Amino acid sequence: MPLRLPIIALATALTLSAGSGETMKPVKPLAYGALGANFNQNLDALDYRELRESGARWVRGFFPMPATDQGDPAAHFAIKTITEAAGRGHDTILSLKFPYDRASFPQPGSPEMAAELARLDRVLPAVLGKVDILTIGNEPFIESLPAERDTRLNVFYETVARHVIDVRRARCGGDCATTLYMGALNRLDLADRRTPAAERWMTFVRETPELAGVDIHPHVPEPENTQAFLDYILPRMRPDQTYLVTEFSLVWHWKKHLRDPIAPAFAQRYGFAAGTQVWQVIKAAIDAPFPQRQWNDFLTSSPWFMDQAGFLRDQMRLYRGTGRLAVATYAFKQDDLMTTDFGPAKDPWLLNSVYVPYTVRPRGNGLSAPSLWLKDFKALQKS
């Protein structure tokens, strides 16, 4: 059974007295247990008014490393936005994304690896000491060639991680304000994803003292599947390590229901033909965004959605109950990639979002409409 520690005690910064009578700087808490806003690649969609409305202090997004070749990384919207948010008092997480799903991992000592490390040398000065958490990797077991999800993946990410650690030590010293995690593991609820490479990943995390822990992305078909992620990572970490959950959702549950017929009462009220399927209503909302009430009525009339209406509360209770959660961040805002070519085979990420600018008409002053998730998201800021 995983160690269970009191969240409130861990979330309180401790002040220790040195032997000389001097007051040392506050010790960073082991586990924050926070819930924040995840923007993935869409940090340019951040609206501080929506963050204030939701109560979110933590902001997370990722930076695609190939973008370094296009100019100064500090000027890229992802890094510019995340560091601006940090400057405005928000706690921040930036994941470094290495997309190798269409090319082989470079080998240590090769010109290709030298080029990748040179990219890091341009990115790291822009974020070290500014963002609170830097995650090395986004979804390595997805952003790689299937045939290379073995030791080749491990060697690449271990090489990158050691370079980040060395640069961080040189630039920040031992008390750098930026904490390092390795990320992120997917679908650990499936036995075939708990591979030798995943095991080596966790061994590296555990045996590398500069790493605070690991990131996981429990996108699951049923809420109970998340427990498998925790059962896997917690025994494989040091007692002083924590974990991130920078993405989590029921996207695979939603997808199973895209071809379900909609509720007859909803169809009659809003003029849809009998037998209209869920995906067709979502597509109609994308093509011509609904009034807020119509979108809410669509979801509240859908048993597949309402049966899981407590998902956010229940998942945060699970994560916080371990005493080892640093930060979880939840999908904050729909984006255009979620809506492009929407059909019954599309992954319905847009149903996760706290704000729904692509399926519901905007409110006044340019604010996006909130989804049904906002109430629980706000309440969980106070837990």
Higher-confidence residue of 60 and 364: namely: 60
Q: Is the pLDDT of residue 6 over 50?
A: no
Q: Is the pLDDT of residue 12 over 80?
A: no
> What would the mean pLDDT of 107-111 be, rounded to a whole number?
96
- Measured from the Cβ of residue 3, the count of other Cβ atoms closer than 10 Å reads 10
Higher-confidence residue of 38 and 27: namely: 38
Per residue in 312-360, pLDDT tens? 999 999 999 999 999 999 999 999 999 999 999 999 999 999 999 999 9
Three state DSSP letters for the chain: CCCCCCHHHHCCCECCECCCCCECCCECCCCCCEEEEECCCCHHHCCHHHHHHHCCCEEEEEEEHHHHHHCCHHHCHHHHHHHHHHHCCCEEEEEEECCECCCCCCCCCCHHHHHHHHHHHHHHHHHCCCCCEEEECCCCCCCECHHHCCHHHHHHHHHHHHHHHHHHHHHHCCCCCCEEEEEEEECCCCHHHCCHHHHHHHHHHHHCCCEEEEEEECECCCHHHHHHHHHHHHHHCCCCCEEEECCCECHHHHHHCCCCECCHHHHHHHCCCCCCEHHHHHHHHHHCCECHHHHHHHHHCCHHHHCCCCHHHHHHHHHHHCCCEEEEEEECECCHHHHCCCCCCCCCHHHHCCECCCCECCCHHHCCCECCCHHHHHHHCCC
Which residue is associated with the tokens 């708990």? Answer: 194
Residue 341 burial by Cβ neighbours in a 10 Å radius (0-12, 13-18, 19+) = exposed
Higher-confidence residue of 12 and 320: namely: 320
> What would the mean pLDDT of 252-278 be, rounded to a whole number?
98
Confidence of residue 2 (pLDDT cuts 50, 70, 90): very low
Confirm if 51 and 90 have CB atoms less than 8 A apart.
Answer: yes
Q: Is the pLDDT of residue 368 over 70?
A: yes
Give the pLDDT of residue 24.
29
Per residue in 130-145, pLDDT tens? 999 999 999 999 999 9
CA-derived radius of gyration, the chain: 21
pTM given for the model: 0.92
Per residue in 202-250, pLDDT tens? 999 999 999 999 999 999 999 999 999 999 999 999 999 999 999 999 9
Give the pLDDT of residue 29.
55
What residue spans define the domains of the chain?
Answer: 7-254+311-336+371-380
Annotation: CATH topology of 7-254+311-336+371-380: TIM Barrel (3.20.20)
Average the pLDDT over each of 3-17, 193-207, 211-225 and give the range with the smallest value.
3-17
Per residue in 147-162, pLDDT tens? 999 999 999 999 999 9
> What would the mean pLDDT of 80-109 be, rounded to a whole number?
97
Q: Is the pLDDT of residue 31 over 90?
A: no
In angstroms, how far is CA 239 from the centroid of its own chain?
A: 23
